[in-house]
A and B are shown apart, each in its own frame.
Chain A
Amino acid sequence: MATIGHNNLNAKLVLLGDMGAGKSSVVLRFVKGQFLEFQESTIGAAFFSQTLAVNDATVKFEIWDTAGQERYHSLAPMYYRGAAAAIIVYDITTQESFSRAKKWVQELQKQGNPNMVMALAGNKADLEEKRVVLAEEARTYAEENGLFFMETSAKTAKNVNEIFYEIAKKLPRAQAPQNPAGMVLVDRQGDAARASSCCS
């Protein structure tokens, strides 16, 4: 959950999406600026962190990268529970991964933190010739469901930093130190949620 200290914000972010959609590659590009043509499959989940400067504040993302296969579904709630943000990744070259992304959106809408900032990432945008999911279709879906949408390419780095930057801007935060109403309370709740998730 997003927590605030001065101008610094800590935000838990989770990546969800079909296997092979490129979740780990997106994270690796964002955190280390690297890309591996054959990124090892993620088993279980992996943790990363990266700090971004947004205007006069910094946002530190605590990122959980999850295993994509349907069978691993039962492990996912631990990672999205209490998350301030989620990137749902699909692969523009497969329709199944887009369907899977929609299922994740539904699940987060039902089970996730209601203030969660959700982004839909159509990854592998460099593979234009293999595209099967139209950008317009995804954009429409995203708008209808209150997500923001970007097509990304972990390979070329297109829109990878941008999507995290957009999320950072959209995260709820305290307006000003002298006016710490509303949002701060929400953040406290979030902390409690994170603390309570330990026993599950």
Chain B
Amino acid sequence: MEKKKIDEDGSGPSSPKPVDRFGFIKPESSNSPDNLKRSKSSGSEREKRRVQKWRKMIGVGGSDWKHYVRRKPLVVKRRIRKGIPDCLRGLVWQLISGSRDLLLMNPGVYEQLVIYETSASELDIIRDISRTFPSHVFFQQRHGPGQRSLYNVLKAYSVYDRDVGYVQGMGFIAGLLLLYMSEEDAFWLLVALLKGAVHAPMEGLYLSGLPLVQQYLFQFDLLVKEYLPKLGEHFSQEVINPSMYASQWFITVFSYSFPFHLALRIWDVFLYEGVKVVFRVGLALLKSCHDDLVKLPFEKLIHALRNFPEEVMDPDTLLPLAYSIKISKPLEELKLEYEKVHGKEGQSIIARGKQKQVLERNGSSSRNSKRAEKQKGESIKSPETILLKKVSLRRHFSHRKAEHDKLDGPVAQPVQELKRRDSQLMSRHATS
């Protein structure tokens, strides 16, 4: 089906290139883990039963999900760790991230953001669009449906939260989501993540000064030293710090230059359990290659940290190893330590202060209060809190629209062209 798309588009390659099961164009003579996988898991009967179990758990359109999670949270956790069936992934991601609730509570908001608003980030977004998953058939076609939805989601977010705007890296997250859901769904999932519908808000990863990236790298650095002291020592000697290899792990939650089948499995757990899994997977990667890494000099080390061997990146061995690394407590302690040193002046405090205010105004009625209690210290916003944003957005719609209409000239042209296409897309979306 996807191969056909290329054929129809004149700009595509003359002969359709083979794609893997996720739609990425295969490098020549690849023996991607795909092929191995397929022969191994020939137990399609087992797969069928698994999907059935999941369908039962979710109910029609997700109707039974909340009930099931409340009754059997551990079963849900265990099943998610085994991997959400690909055909149900998009729906389940929306259920566990809290984005489904946001979508239902904010009808029409996404359309308004896409059609009527203008964003200072538009040119930045356009510059990155064709450079996000360039080897995926959905995003490869110039101005094709993939690139259009990616543009819309990113632009809508940059308007929704002008403090964050658009930051390089968000495209990979949005792109990953768009392979599993509509652009409106992807937008609300992005909101749920960045604003913290269920877990701690991620927006600090993208705010000015990248405060949360700095904090995570600080925490990761010390976790490496604690769990893998020999490697930590070697890194110090070779003057390697996590910023050189792990910043994109956090900024894109492994969606950037990582095998896609592994990224998806990490995302399953990330959406349900939170950012902790990113630390765990990072440590598990280092641990799996520990004995090689400690022998390598700077340059080879950097290379190895960007190119883990295929067998290490098999989700069924890497993820169990990751879960075996217990980090909740040290992670929290290191966070406090970081805040002691950097907190006072750090941007993160400003961001956190803002969130706290909103929280206090609204009460912290989290969708999943049990988990909320567990994660004390992390500010958690309920969908109701996030809804607030809508009111203020409405207020300046009319004003911004007037500004938008004024936009003209050579710079505005490509933007307006995109906008015209956006509205076409939106109307199609609305009728379907």
Contact = CB atoms under 8 A, between A and B. Distances in A.
Contact of A72 (B210, B257, B303): B210
24 contacts: A19-B124, A19-B128, A19-B168, A39-B134, A40-B134, A41-B131, A42-B168, A43-B247, A43-B251, A45-B244, A45-B247, A47-B302, A47-B303, A69-B167, A71-B168, A71-B208, A71-B210, A75-B210, A75-B213, A75-B243, A75-B247, A78-B241, A78-B244, A198-B241
B127 interface: yes
Interface string B106-135: 000000000000000000100110111110
Interface string B284-305: 0000000000000001001100
Nearest to B139: A38
Q: Which 9 A-B pairs have the closest CB atoms?
A: A44-B247, A38-B134, A20-B127, A43-B248, A44-B248, A41-B131, A47-B302, A69-B168, A43-B169
A194 B133 CA distance: 34
B63 interface: no
A71 B206 contact: yes
Nearest to A46: B306
Given A19-B127, A71-B210, 4 more contacts: A39-B131, A40-B131, A45-B244, A78-B241
Given A19-B128, A198-B241, A41 B247 contact: no
A62 interface: yes
Nearest to B299: A49
Interface of A: 19-20, 36, 38-47, 49, 62, 67-69, 71-72, 74-75, 78, 194-195, 197-198
Interface of B: 124, 127-128, 130-134, 140, 167-169, 171-172, 206, 208-210, 213-214, 236, 239-241, 243-244, 247-248, 251-252, 256-257, 299, 302-303, 306
B131 A198 contact: no
A126 B169 CA distance: 28
A194 B134 contact: no
A46 B256 CA distance: 12
A71 B302 contact: no
Contacts of B128: 19-20, 41
A198 B127 contact: no
Given A67-B168, A195-B239, A74 B206 contact: no
A35 to B, nearest CB: 13
A44 B127 contact: no
B247 A198 contact: no
A74 B239 contact: no
Nearest to B235: A198
Given A74-B214, A78-B243, A43 B252 contact: yes
A197 B243 CA distance: 12
Contacts of B127: 19-20
Contacts of B302: 47
